[in-house]
């Protein structure tokens, strides 16, 4: 091959790589920003209710919702501390608790070893959202979401469990969130075994493993 041809070939390859990288980034961004319209409109509806009955609570919820939305439009690609992602999730949980009242309980068991570990931003929240939706729409009883996070053998390991009724075939859409997360993990780490799910009679458990650099 001539030198000029090789140069052309290399440039073409670079462009191809660049195009692929951009496409991947766009897809990642889109996957990350799949904000559920249900969540947004129902939160606004809760605020609408609170404005008259409990104006101070209404104002608090406006601020929580704003902080949460600001967090979701952050376009930084860098990995973040798990502690930071947890803050974002807490905001989300506060809002959901206002919406669903005592029906929704969340137990967070976070090992200190997990806090400084790294993960892509906005990964945990959609997982929580999925568990809450799955739980709330899968049973008429109170819903306890159990979250465990720890460092384990080179991974940040997070498991989230929600109750389900054995006799309920799930309403449409509840599994969609998980597919989007799996796709994101694949695009970032090139692996499809980082998110696993386990179904027992009354519980659904999703376990996420985020590789840590040694």
Candidates 11-19, 98-106, 110-118, 180-188 — which segment interacts with other proteins by CB under 8 A?
Answer: 98-106
- State yes or no: residue 47 binds other proteins (CB under 8 A): yes
Task: Give the Cα separation of 94 and 61 in Å (integer).
Answer: 9
* Nearer Cβ to other proteins (42/207): 42
| Closest approach of other proteins to the CB of residue 37, in Å | 5
Query: Which listed residue (38, 59, 70, 191) binds other proteins by CB under 8 A?
Result: 38
Query: Which listed residue (35, 49, 108, 178) binds other proteins by CB under 8 A?
Result: 49
Task: Give the Cα separation of 49 and 62 in Å (integer).
Answer: 12
Query: Which listed residue (46, 64, 125, 130) binds other proteins by CB under 8 A?
Result: 46
- State yes or no: residue 8 binds other proteins (CB under 8 A): no
User: Could you give the string, one character per residue 151-190, with x where binding to other proteins holds by CB under 8 A and - elsewhere?
Assistant: --------------x-xxxxxx------------------
CA 188 to chain CA centroid, nearest Å: 15
The upper half-sphere exposure of residue 122, i.e. CA atoms within 13 Å in the direction of its Cβ, equals 22
Candidates 23-31, 38-46, 64-72, 120-128 — which segment interacts with other proteins by CB under 8 A?
Answer: 38-46
Residues in 50-89 that interact with other proteins by CB under 8 A: 50, 52-53
- State yes or no: residue 99 binds other proteins (CB under 8 A): yes
**What are residue 135's phi and psi, to 5 degrees?**
-65, -50
| Closest approach of other proteins to the CB of residue 198, in Å | 19
- Contacts of 87-92 with C-beta under 8 Å, sequence gap 24+, read 88/121, 88/122, 88/124, 88/125, 89/124, 89/125, 89/128, 91/64, 91/67, 92/68, 92/125, 92/128, 92/129
Q: Which two tokens stand for residue 89?
A: 């999730």
| Closest approach of other proteins to the CB of residue 175, in Å | 11
Task: Give the Cα separation of 200 and 79 in Å (integer).
Answer: 33
- To which residue do tokens 């040694």 refer? 214
Residues in 113-142 that interact with other proteins by CB under 8 A: 136-140
């Amino acid at each position: 091959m001539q030198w000029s041809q090789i140069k052309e070939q290399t440039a073409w390859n670079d462009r191809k790589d660049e195009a692929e990288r951009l496409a991947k980034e766009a897809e990642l961004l889109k996957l990350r920003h799949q904000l559920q319209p249900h969540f947004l409109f129902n939160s606004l509806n809760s605020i609408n209710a609170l404005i008259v009955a409990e104006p101070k609570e209404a104002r608090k919820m406006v601020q929580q919702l704003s902080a949460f939305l600001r967090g979701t439009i952050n376009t930084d690609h860098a990995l973040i501390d798990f502690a930071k992602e947890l803050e974002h999730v807490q905001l989300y949980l506060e809002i959901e608790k206002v919406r669903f009242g005592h029906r929704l309980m969340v137990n967070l068991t976070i090992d200190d070893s997990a806090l400084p570990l790294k993960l892509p931003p906005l990964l945990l929240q959609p997982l929580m959202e999925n568990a809450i939706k799955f739980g709330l729409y899968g049973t008429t009883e109170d819903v306890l979401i159990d979250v465990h996070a720890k460092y384990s053998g080179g991974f940040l390991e997070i498991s989230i469990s929600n109750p389900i009724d054995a006799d309920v075939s799930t309403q449409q859409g509840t599994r969609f969130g998980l597919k989007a997360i799996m796709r994101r993990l694949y695009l970032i780490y090139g692996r499809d075994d980082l998110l696993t799910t386990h179904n027992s009679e009354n519980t659904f458990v999703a376990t996420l493993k985020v590789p840590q650099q040694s």
